[in-house]
């Protein structure tokens, strides 16, 4: 667990924050701690793999309510919950909302370290996927409107001659537009192109 990753610890107990910071630092992790959810939200956002180690019961916004607030703000950060007063409904609610782990104090140090490792790996994967989609979107935006038309019909499974008839153009023209679109998208095959468009638009949507 090395690299530029950051673990954010949010707990109103200073002794807990201190012990967690020490534990996480022993495996080379950078840690930033906060005494409340509001304090965390006031921080300067960082563009690096991260996760949140969050106490469930805190003054003000509780950990579970904070989880909902983050989702509402579209702040996608994996959460590891800690609590000294956990119950099954509480843990089920947290996990259904996407928490990585729900640990009850006292917990084994290794359990927390394992949960943090999983959370950071999840965030790294999400960020890598988002970068890929952004890159694909930029390529898609470079297509002309007619090339997008051709791509959208290709994704629907239409043949060149069917696309030509639909667009009222020659099949040879469609072949040229298809070739240019695939070149701009860096697609090596039609299957590759379809996969790219699905990543941009989502499997249930179509390119337009």
Per-residue pLDDT tens listing for the chain (208 residues) = 444 799 999 999 999 999 999 999 999 999 999 999 999 999 888 889 999 999 998 888 888 999 999 999 999 999 999 988 767 788 888 989 899 999 998 899 999 999 999 999 999 999 999 999 999 999 999 999 999 999 999 999 999 999 999 999 999 999 999 999 999 999 999 999 999 999 998 644 444 4
What are the two backbone dihedrals, phi and then psi, of residue 31, each rounded to the nearest 5 degrees?
-130, 135
Q: Which of 12, 84, 8 is nearest to 45 (CA)?
A: 8
Q: Which of 15, 23, 83 is nearest to 7 (CA)?
A: 23
SS3 28: coil
pTM of the prediction?
A: 0.79
Angle formed at CA 117 by CA 111 and CA 118, multiple of 5 degrees: 90
What are the two backbone dihedrals, phi and then psi, of residue 59, each rounded to the nearest 5 degrees?
-60, 145
Nearest-angstrom CA–CA distance, 8 and 126: 18
Contacts of 169 (CB under 8 A, 6+ apart): none
Q: Residue 176 is inside which H or E element, if any? A: helix 171-185
Structure tokens at 108: 């084994």
């Amino acid at each position: 667990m090395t690299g530029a990753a950051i673990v954010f610890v949010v707990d109103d107990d200073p002794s807990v924050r201190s012990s967690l910071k020490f534990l996480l630092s022993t495996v080379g992790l950078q840690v930033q701690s906060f005494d409340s959810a509001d304090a965390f939200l006031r921080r300067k956002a960082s563009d690096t793999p991260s996760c949140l180690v969050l106490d469930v019961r805190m003054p003000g916004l509780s950990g579970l309510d904070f989880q909902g607030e983050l989702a509402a703000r579209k702040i996608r950060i994996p959460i590891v919950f800690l609590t000294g007063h956990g119950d099954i409904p509480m843990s089920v609610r947290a996990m259904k909302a996407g928490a990585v782990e729900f640990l009850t104090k006292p917990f084994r140090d290794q359990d927390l370290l394992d949960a943090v490792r999983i959370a950071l790996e999840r965030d790294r994967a999400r960020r890598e996927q988002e970068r890929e989609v952004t890159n694909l979107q930029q390529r898609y935006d470079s297509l002309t409107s007619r090339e997008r038309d051709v791509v959208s019909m290709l994704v629907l499974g239409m043949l060149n001659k069917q696309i030509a008839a639909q667009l009222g153009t020659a099949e040879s023209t469609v072949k040229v537009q298809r070739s240019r679109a695939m070149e701009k998208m860096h697609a090596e095959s039609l299957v590759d192109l379809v996969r790219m468009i699905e990543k941009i638009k989502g499997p249930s949507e179509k390119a337009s």
